[in-house]
Structure 1
Amino acid sequence: YLIAASLTFAIVWVLRHTAIKSRKIQSREATAADMRREFLQSVQSALVYTFGAAFLIWGREEGLFYDVFGVSFGLGTDLLILAAIVIAHDAYFYWAHRIMHHPKLFKHFHRAHHRSITPTPWAAYSFAIPEAAAMFLFVPIWQFFVPTPGWVMFAWLNFQIIRNAMGHAGFEFFPRWWLSTPMTRWINTTVHHDLHHNGGFNTNYGLYFTWWDKWMGTEHPRYRDKFDEVVSRGALRSFDKEPVPAE
C-alpha cells in the first residue's frame, strides 16, 4: 500500500506540473485532512489484512488452503491462473461493492470509503473494518479452491493495489483513444471510478474492467462523455495519438 500509493501520488504530482496538468478530473482539491483520513483508514485496513494473512498461514499449515510456496505448473499454466484470478477478483469486487451499497449495509461497510468525494491514491485501502474484511475474504475463498503458485499471488497482489491506487488518483492516465478501440475500451480508467465517488454513487462498481457494469446496466451514462472531456483538455501529446494498425 505505502509503495503503490506513494508512487502513484508522486507520479500525479509530477504530471500536474506538465502540459497535461489539465487531466486532473475534478476542479476540487482534496484537503490535507482528507488525505490524512484516507491514510489512517488504509493503515487500519492493512492491520485487518495482517490478521487475515495470519489466518491464511494457519489454514495452510492445517491443510485448509493449498500451499502456494514452491508450486508451479509451468509458465503457461501459471499465467492462465494469473489471468483467472484477475477476472475472478473483478467479479467478486463488483458484486461485493454493489451489495455494500445496499441501504442496510452501506452505513456499516462502505460509508467510510465514500467520505472521499475527491479521492487521492491514499484512498486505495481507505475502508471501515467490515469492508476491509469483506475485501480480504476473496483471498481465502480463492486459495481454498485453486492451487496458486506463490509468484502468481504476489503478482496479483501488486497488480490490484497499483490499479486501486490509479483508480483513486484523480488524474486520468490513459490516452484519449482508450475508449475508441475494442482492445482497450473494456479496461477501467480513472474517470470511471472517479465518477463513482463524485456524482455517480449508484454506478461504476467495477474494479479492473467495465463489462459487469455494462452487463448489469450500472455504468454511468456520461462515462464516455466525461472521459472525452478530461482527455481532450490541453495540448495534444504524442502518446494521445491513436495507434496506427500494423499492415
Structure 2
Amino acid sequence: MTLEDIINFENPVSVLRFTLVTFFAIFFRYVLICGVFILVFDRILQNSMTTRKINTSLRPPSQKWKEVMWSCLSSFIFAISGTLLLYAYTENKTLLYDQFSLHDIWYIPLSILLVLFLHETYYYFLHRWMHHPKVFRHFHKVHHDSIITSAWTSFSFHPLETLLQAIIIPLVTLIVPLHIYSLFFLLVLMTVSATINHLNIEIYPGWMARTGIGKWVIGATHHSQHHKYYTKNFGLYFTFYDRILQTESTDFETVFLEKTQSNNE
C-alpha cells in the first residue's frame, strides 16, 4: 500500500476521511492507555496502591466526563496536526525518513533524547507563560479544573492550549532528522507519560528518589503538586528546569518517599 492509497491531498473528502481516522486512532489510544492504567493500578492493585494515592479526596462524578469531552476535542486537534505533518512530509518539507542504516543504531536513541529535550524546553516555558494571570483563564484553566487528577485528565485541555501543544512535534521535524518509527515511539511515550503524571497514584519505586537519574524524572507526585500549588513543578518529562530555575516544590521528595516507603523500597 502506497501513501497515495491512504490519502489524496488534492481531494478534500480524502483529507477529511484520513483526519477522522487519525482522530479515532488518537482518541482510542488515549482511552486504551488510560483504561489500562486505571484497571491495573486503581482496580487490580487497589489494596497495595492505597498508600500511594496522592490526593485521597473524592473527585466530582461529573469531572471524568468533562475530561473525556475535552480530551475528545484535543484528539481531533492533534489529528489535524497529524494530517498537516503528513502533508509536509509528502512535500519533502520535514526531515522525517523511513530508511534504516547502521548509523541509526546510535542515532535513533540520540534523536529521541534530543526531541524530548526540545519538547521539555518548549513546554516548560510555555507552561509558565500559561500561568500568567492574563493568560491562564483563556488557555490553561480547563486543565486545572481537574484539581484532583486522574488518567482521564491527561488530554483534558482547552482547544487553544491543545493548539500550542500540537505544533511542537511538527516544528521539531523541520529541524531534527527523525526516523518515522522514532516519531511513533515518541507519540506513544507522550501519552503514557501524561497518563502516569495525572494518575494520582505514585507508581514509581521509592528508590528513584534516592538515585541520581530518579530525581530528574517526573511522575504522579511531582505533577500532582503542580495541580495543588499552581506556581510549582512546571516540567513535562524531567525536573531539571524546575530545579535550575527554582520552581520545584520544596516538599516533593518528602511526599514521594511518604507515598512509597510502605513497600520498603
Give the TM-score, by structure 2 length: 0.84
**Aligned AA for 2:126?**
A
Aligned-residue offset at 1:174: 1.3
2:90 counterpart residue number: 61
> 1:5 is paired with a residue of what secondary structure?
helix
Matches for 1:45-124 after TM superposition, within 5 Å = 45-70=74-99, 73-124=103-154
1:227 counterpart residue number: 256
Distance 1:63 1:211 in 2: 35
Distance 2:254 2:136 in 1: 29
- The match for 2:240 among 164, 189, 211 is 211
Matches for 1:128-139 after TM superposition, within 5 Å = 128-139=158-169
1:245 counterpart residue number: none
- The match for 1:144 among 174, 189, 192 is 174
Distance 1:67 1:226 in 2: 42
Aligned-residue offset at 1:71: 5.6
Distance 1:158 1:38 in 2: 20
Distance 1:177 1:50 in 2: 38
- The match for 1:181 among 206, 211, 231 is 211
User: When the two structures are aligned, how many residues end up with a matched partner?
Assistant: 235
The RMSD of aligned alpha carbons is 1.6
Distance 2:155 2:195 in 1: 9
Distance 1:181 1:191 in 2: 16
Higher relative contact order (CA 8 A, sep 6+): 1
Distance 2:109 2:250 in 1: 35
In percent, how many aligned pairs have the same letter? Answer: 25
Between Structure 1 and Structure 2, the one with more helix by share is 2
Q: 1:76 to 1:24 in 2, by over 3 A?
A: same
Structure 2 residue 48 is the aligned partner of structure 1 residue 19: yes
Structure 2 residue 199 is the aligned partner of structure 1 residue 169: yes
* Aligned residues of 2:49 and 2:201 also touching (Cα < 8 A): no
Distance 2:221 2:44 in 1: 16
Structure 1: tracts of 5 or more residues without a match: 242-247
Distance 1:11 1:110 in 2: 29
Aligned-residue offset at 1:15: 5.4
Aligned-residue offset at 1:160: 1.1
Structure 2: tracts of 5 or more residues without a match: 1-29
Matches for 1:31-46 after TM superposition, within 5 Å = 31-46=60-75
Aligned-residue offset at 1:18: 2.5
* Aligned residues of 1:121 and 1:165 also touching (Cα < 8 A): yes
Give the TM-score, by structure 1 length: 0.90
Runs of 4+ with deviation above 6 angstroms: none
**Aligned AA for 2:223?**
H
> 1:204 is paired with a residue of what secondary structure?
coil
* Aligned residues of 1:68 and 1:149 also touching (Cα < 8 A): yes
